[in-house]
Amino acid sequence: METIQLVQPQQEFKDFMALPDGLAKNISYYNNFQSRNFTDASITRKDGHIYYAANTFKVVKSTKSSYYIKRVTKDGFTINEKGKLSIWFGKSVFQLPHISQVFMHFNFNWLDVKLYPFVTKGIFEKMIAGKLTNNTDVCKAYIKAMRLNCSPSLFLQLFQTGSISKQDFLRRASVAKDINHFIEHLLLPNDNRSLLVYEDMVKEALILEKKIDYKWSSKRLTEEHKAWTEQIMQIEIDALEDKVIPFIDKFDRYTPDGFKLLKTQKEVFYEGKTMKHCLYTAYWSSIKNNNYIAYHITSGDEEVTLGINIYDDKLRYNQCYSRFNGPVSSKMHVIVTNFVEQLNEQVERDGILKETKIEYKVNPIFNELPF
């Protein structure tokens, strides 16, 4: 039997345990060791089998100033005489502690560290058997196992030069019409807007069970994104309640031309979706609890969302933004501030706020969260 220690227990833990029991040892424990762990890892060869074990320990205080070492976790694998690998406790190769030292022990120094997450159980067995001896072969084996249908050289180039994670790659590749085109897209410099659109479409493609063609023109990309967004939006809207909030409905009599009072959950949701801001997610609760009202306003070519706080029996201007929380024109700012002032006068005159008892859960004056 031959055992090789890959990771030695830290000497400071050994030194601590060698200290005589007493108050000085207590001080050292609470200052340096109470919440820390230490590990050891070794490989043993016996009767044609290879055993790898990685143990995590901690120092535990028992009675007064007496201490002992307690094992917290144990991980590892076994390779039998036929080269079959068994990983303990159902973990993956990459999850094993100190896997880099394991690879070094087996002389896998050629393996690019960025490919470590792609070393599956089957690939590791082939590496140990000498069937995989370079990074390209590892890529080929992973691509075959995952049925990715892409170029090994492109795959390797992406993970040697790119910053995408394995999980994100697999998620996005699953909806790519052609994975090679997807990788080429990732390797090329892209404008931020294009990146945002594609990322948004990945989620949409997963929902709608569609594929993204990374060779689409900018125009086609915009058209597809719009169509998918509208399709999902319609599904979401169909599931929402279209019931008018009675309190909000009282303000409709004061709504001028070009203004649309948002009176239902569907309307608030649609406004947030079409205007690309978080009116629905951030303010729907306040709207349904009679603490907030919102309007969609159209003036010429300008479209904006206006938010008004209801607090202390007053309507208070909160915010007004165009799409993507963009700024509004000076003309629009004058329109909305004058409207809020006039609305206050009309509501106070008719006693609208006094008709309904409003529970002010949070002072919206201090709510600066944009749509």
pLDDT in the model for residue 312 = 83
pLDDT in the model for residue 365 = 45
List the single range of 185-194, 241-250, 259-268, 272-281 with lowest mean pLDDT. Answer: 185-194
Give alpha helix (H) positions in 11-149: 11-18, 23-28, 99-105, 121-128, 135-146
List the single range of 179-183, 192-196, 229-233, 268-272 with lowest mean pLDDT. Answer: 192-196
Question: Locate tokens 């990374």: which residue?
Answer: 214
Q: Whole-angstrom Cα distance, residue 40 to residue 38?
A: 7
Polymer length in residues for the chain: 371
Q: Whole-angstrom Cα distance, residue 77 to residue 98?
A: 12
pLDDT digits (tens, 9 = 90+) for 135-162: 999 999 999 999 999 999 999 999 998 7
Q: Which amino acid is at 137?
A: D
- Which conformational region is residue 209 in: left (phi greater than 0), alpha (psi within -120 to 50 degrees), or beta? left
pLDDT in the model for residue 114 = 94
User: Order of strands, edge to edge, in the sheet holding 302-311?
Assistant: 259-261, 292-299, 302-311, 314-321
Residue 128 has pLDDT above 90, yes or no: yes
Task: Give 291 or 361, the one with higher predicted confidence.
Answer: 291
- What is the band of 188 on the pLDDT scale with cuts at 50, 70, 90? confident
Domain boundaries, the chain: 1-97, 202-238, 246-366
Asked whether 265 and 259 are in contact (CB, 8 A), the reply is: no
Q: Whole-angstrom Cα distance, residue 144 to residue 161?
A: 22
Determine the Cα angle at 297 with ends 293 and 302, to 5°. Answer: 145
pLDDT digits (tens, 9 = 90+) for 75-113: 999 999 999 999 999 999 999 999 999 999 999 999 999
Residue 182 has pLDDT above 70, yes or no: yes
Token reading at 196: 């945002």
In sequence order, the 6+-apart residues with CB closer than 8 A to the CB of 207 are 232
Write phi, then psi, for 302 (nearest 5 degrees).
-100, 130
Task: Give 127 or 236, the one with higher predicted confidence.
Answer: 127
> Distance of CA 44 to CAs 90, 93, 120, 122, 356, Å?
20, 18, 22, 21, 78
pLDDT in the model for residue 360 = 56
Q: Measured on CA atoms in the order 167, 170, 175, 181, is the torsion positive or negative?
A: positive
CA-based radius of gyration for the chain: 32
Question: Locate tokens 């479409």: which residue?
Answer: 201
Residue 283 has pLDDT above 80, yes or no: yes
Model-level pTM?
A: 0.69
pLDDT in the model for residue 158 = 96
Asked whether 114 and 142 are in contact (CB, 8 A), the reply is: no
Tell me 212's DSSP state.
Answer: B
> Distance of CA 254 to CAs 90, 97, 263, 339, 346, Å?
65, 67, 13, 10, 8
Q: Whole-angstrom Cα distance, residue 88 to residue 70?
A: 20
| Cα distance from N-terminal residue to C-terminal residue, the chain | 68
